[in-house]
A = this chain, B = another copy of it.
Amino acid sequence: MKRKIYLSNTSLSKAQEIFWNAALKKEPGVEEIAVFEAAGRVTAEPVFARLSSPHYHAAAMDGIAVKSSDTFGATATTPLRLRLEENAFYIDTGGSLPPGCDAVIMIEDVFFPDKERPDVIEIREPAAPWQHVRSIGEDIVATEMILPSYHRLRPFDLGALLNGGIFKLNVLRKPRVSLIPTGSELIEPPGEPQPGQIIESNSHVFSAAVREWGAQPKRFPIIRDDSDRLEEVLLKAAEESDLILISAGSSAGRKDFTVKVLDKLGEVLIHGVAIKPGKPVILAMIGSIPVVGLPGYPVAAYVALELFVKPFLYRWQKQTPPKRTVLKSYSSRRVLSSLKEEEYLRLKMGKVEDKFVATPLPRGSGVSMSLVRADGVTTISQNKEGIEPGEEIQVELWRARVEIENTIVCLGSHDLSLDILSDHLKKRYDYTLSSAHLGSMGGIMALKRGETHLAGIHLLDEESGLYNIPYLKRYLPEMELVLVHLAQRELGLMLEKKNRGKITSIEDLAGGNIVFVNRQKGAGTRLYLDFMLKRKGISPADITGYEREEYNHLSVAAAVKAGSADAGLGIRAAAEALGLEFVPLARESYELAVPVSFYNSPKCGALLEVIGSDAFRKAVERMGGYDLTRSGEIVWRSHSDNS
């Protein structure tokens, strides 16, 4: 079976250079459009004014138009009289000066000396030539250049063009981008996918993205794994496009024939770039039309889109690609990175005390939520082995800096109520709650390192049977803290409905017949399990699947739901969300550990207000398994007791 295609490892800058050189040779097209429709478009040539603005001598004030030389000699003691409609003329702002006039006297400075003679006016100082007059061309002189070539039109540019008598202009045609989704496993949305089927989403992302970058997308229907059909569609697309994007099939697998088809129809410039995610990208030309073969995984596809398609489209339109703000930040975790590629790491950000802290998001190229949740991206260069915790990194921001400054960071245990809290907070304040799931102990360590505003924890102390307080005393003895109760929640075993009655206790997990799915080390739920196993004298080795770790309640529930495990430990709300059977084992306190410095901030004030609101309580309790009677209560303050 011949299925190995060589994937090169060309560096990003080299690949980009090769691509620009080949792809940007052709001059962009030009079209004439009305000025009204031109916002956001790019001038194809300089635009010269046809009319001056003003195109006549215009009064800049409401008043009386005069010939200035008629007014010389007027003073407060020797006022001068003029006659309306003879040598003085009422004029409104914007009005055209009557012939012979060269100045305007403001209406406030005009007096009527004789009540019987409303046509006689008096002035008490002379008018300087051209006073209160907008002379011809003050704004724009006919023939002057209003806009140069290759200028992207902003709203007020349209105003200047209209003022200069320009109603139509030549602009660069929008680059036409053909989007070709490929793969027999894809189904068109809306639609209900069967196992092995995937909803085609990438081309819709590409479509929205290239539109944002000034292009006109055209999406083709999904092409099944059929190289003849792909060939046919590519030839058609090449006739009507300035760029072709092929989604998926760019890798080197059995069904990845895109590169072969491109090689047949044109020239493959690059197959494989040393970036991660995004490595299996194809850069090719069909005649003078550039083609980018994008990976099928959504994150890989998007990274390649940003690195190749976005700059191409800006350059095609003769514009400098916009740069995102770069912010100095500190990584909250260690990240190991391959020396084979440059890695684009998505990050959650927050400003804790005076520094910006960045927490890496899941790195899989299939995790589209890592794009959704990202506040920014950092690049780990090819010759770097990774990032140390606390290391200074440069982050390209995906959200406005002010939004990140308005983010409340909550690292620690996962609870579904945090999502609800985040939503309610955002609805009522300009603040965002950003939670990353490190487990309760992870949250405590993040507090210790000053990487989070607060930590969500639920830690049962083996000796005292108390929740949370003993851990804070033990691990954060120096820190001034407030412990705020968020919720009581039910913890228990999640099972498929069919296993109801078969598993009723922790003891039933042992023995090898039941496949379990566990939580990660440091999670409060994991600590509870270990505590119970110890108490009951059960060895972890007796539990099949003990070593399989998931990072939150919903993922455990999903594993059970999918039948890849028979049971997992988690909260009732997660079980109910996925329609699983739930065997309650304990009620635990999920609480927020908040340093006093943050507790006294307006941000925390807003958060506590939302926690105490009826709307939030009701929304959480609706999920099932939650008791919010005491939510918002201060459970404990450090340094205020000596117990």
Contacts A62-B254, A322-B400, A564-B102: A578 and B143 contacting too (C-beta < 8 A)? Answer: yes
Contact across chains for B62 and A3 when beta carbons are under 8 A apart:
yes
- Interface contact A156-B554, CB-CB below 8 Å: no
How often does this chain occur in the complex, in copies? Answer: 2
List the one stretch of A87-95, A466-474, A599-607 in contact with chain B. A87-95
A57 on interface, CB distance cutoff 8 Å: yes
Determine whether the beta carbon of A147 is less than 8 Å from that of B198: no
What CA separation (Å) do A53 and B134 show in the bound complex?
A: 65
Given the known inter-chain contacts A35-B189, A155-B205, please indicate yes or no for A149 contacting B96, CB distance below 8 A: no
* Contact size range, A: 35 or more
Answer yes or no: A478 CB below 8 A from chain B CBs: no
The residue in chain B whose Cβ has the minimal distance to the Cβ of A46 is B423
* CB of A162 closer than 8 Å to a CB of B: yes
In the complex, identify which listed stretch (A236-244, A261-269, A366-374, A589-597) lies at the interface while the others stay far away: A366-374
Query: Beyond A36-B207, A139-B367: 7 further Cβ-contacts under 8 Å?
Result: A138-B367, A138-B555, A150-B426, A156-B205, A156-B372, A159-B202, A160-B368
- Residues in chain B near residue A501, CB distance under 8 A: none
A328: Cβ under 8 A from any B Cβ:
no
Does residue A253 face the partner (Cβ distance < 8 Å to B)? yes
Task: Please give me the residue from chain B that is nearest to A53 by CB atom.
Answer: B368
Contact A205 B159 (CB under 8 A): yes
Q: Do B372 and A143 have beta carbons less than 8 Å apart?
A: no
Of A208-216, A380-388, A453-461, A483-491, the segment with at least 4 beta carbons within 8 Å of chain B is A208-216
Measured CB to CB, the closest approach of chain B to A314, in angstroms, equals: 11
Q: How far is the CB of A377 from chain B (nearest CB, A)?
A: 12
A92, A94, A554, most chain B CB atoms within 10 A: A94
A167 beta carbon closer than 8 Å to chain B: yes
A143 / chain B contacts, CB cutoff of 8 Å: 554, 577-578
Docked-complex contact B562 and A94, CB < 8 angstroms: no
A465 interface residue (CB < 8 Å to B) = no
Q: A135-B564, A577-B143 are in contact. Are A46 and B368 (CB under 8 A)?
A: no
Residues of B within 8 A of A318 (CB): 427
The answer to whether A287 has its CB under 8 Å from any CB of chain B is no
Which of B94, B254, B400, B557 meets A185, CB within 8 Å? B94
Known: A149-B423, A155-B205, A160-B372. A403 touches B141 (CB 8 A): no
Q: Give the CA-CA distance A430 to B319 in the complex, in Å.
A: 8
- Do residues B368 and A156 form an inter-chain contact, with CB atoms below 8 A? yes
A148 B92 Cβ-Cβ under 8 A: no
Q: Tell me whether A636 is interfacial, beta carbon within 8 Å.
A: no
Whether B419 pairs with A145 at a CB distance below 8 angstroms is yes
Contact status A419-B323, CB under 8 Å: no
* A55/B423 in contact, CB under 8 A: no
Chain B neighbourhood of A40, CB < 8 A: 212
Chain B residues whose CB sits within 8 angstroms of the CB of A144 once the complex forms: 419, 554
Contact bitstring A23-61, B, C-beta under 8 A = 1, else 0: 000000000000110011000001000011111110010
* A620 part of interface (Cβ distance < 8 Å): no
CB contacts (< 8 Å) of A185 on chain B: these are 94-95
Roughly how many angstroms separate A141 CA and B102 CA in the complex, as a whole number? 76
Residues from 559 to 591 in A contacting B, C-beta threshold 8 Å: 559, 561-562, 564, 577-578
CB pair B320 A51 closer than 8 Å: no
Q: Are A141 and B555 in contact (CB under 8 A)?
A: yes
A138, chain B: closest CB distance, angstroms:
7
User: Which residue among A162, A165, A190 has the maximum number of chain B CB atoms within 10 Å of its CB?
Assistant: A162
Q: A564–B55 Cα gap in the complex (Å)?
A: 12
Closest Cβ–Cβ distance, residue A460 to chain B (whole Å): 25
Least CB distance from A171 to B in Å reads 14
A548 to B103 CA separation, bound complex (whole angstroms)? 13
In the bound complex, what is the Cα–Cα distance between A43 and B99 (angstroms)? 60
A142: interface (CB < 8 Å): yes
Q: Which of A190-207 contact B (CB under 8 A)?
A: 190, 192-193, 195-196, 198-202, 204-207
Query: B298, A564: Cβ atoms under 8 Å?
Result: no
Is there an interface contact between B195 and A56, defined as CB atoms closer than 8 Å? yes
Is B92 a contact partner of A254 (Cβ separation < 8 A)?
yes
Specify the chain B residue showing the minimal Cβ separation from A90. Answer: B254
A157 interface residue per 8 A CB criterion: yes
Instruction: Return chain B residues, CB-CB under 8 Å to A206.
Output: 155
| Complex contact A162–B204 (CB within 8 A) | yes
Q: Contact check, B193 vs A55: say whether CB atoms are below 8 A apart.
A: yes
- Indicate with 1 or 0, residue by residue over A304-319, a CB within 8 angstroms of chain B CB atoms: 0000000000000010
CB pair B402–A368 under 8 Å, yes or no, is no
Known: A158-B205, A199-B163. A140 touches B368 (CB 8 A): yes
Q: List 15 A-B contacts (CB under 8 A).
A: A51-B193, A54-B198, A92-B255, A94-B198, A95-B196, A134-B366, A136-B559, A139-B364, A143-B554, A144-B419, A148-B426, A155-B208, A163-B298, A163-B368, A165-B199
B255 touches A201 (CB 8 A): no
**Distance, CA A149 to CA B421, complexed state (A):** 11
* CB-based nearest B residue for A365: B60
Interface residues of A in 396-428 (CB under 8 A from B): 400, 402-403, 406, 419, 422-423, 426-427
A405–B418 Cα distance when bound, in Å, is: 44
Could you tell me the distance between the alpha carbons of A196 and B56 in the complex, rounded to whole angstroms?
7
